Amino acid sequence: MKIFNILLLAPFAGLLWVPFYNLQGPVLFGFPFFYWYQFAWVPVTSVLIWLAWKKGARA
C-alpha cells in the first residue's frame, strides 16, 4: 500500500469516533464544534484524495 493511500484513513478515523467531537464548544461563527468539525473535514478530505490520486498516478 502506498503511503499516500494511507492518508485516506485520516478522514475515516477523524469522523468515526463521534464522542471525540460531540461537544458544544468551541463555537465558530455561531456553529457548535460538532458541526464545524465535520464541515472542516470536507476540504481536508478533498485535498487528501487529490494528493493520493496525483501521487498514485506517478507510481
Check whether 58 has a pLDDT greater than 80.
no
Q: What predicted TM-score, i.e. pTM, was given to this entire model?
A: 0.78
Backbone dihedral angles phi then psi of residue 58, each to the nearest 5 degrees = -80, -25
Between 6 and 40, the more confident residue is 40
Q: Encode burial over 26-39: b for 16+ CB neighbours within 10 A, e otherwise.
A: eeeeeeebeebbee
Determine the Cα–Cα distance for residues 51 and 6; give it in Å rounded to an integer. Answer: 11
Residue pLDDT, tens place only, 9-54? 999 998 898 888 888 889 989 999 899 999 999 999 999 999 888 8
Domain boundaries, the chain: 3-58
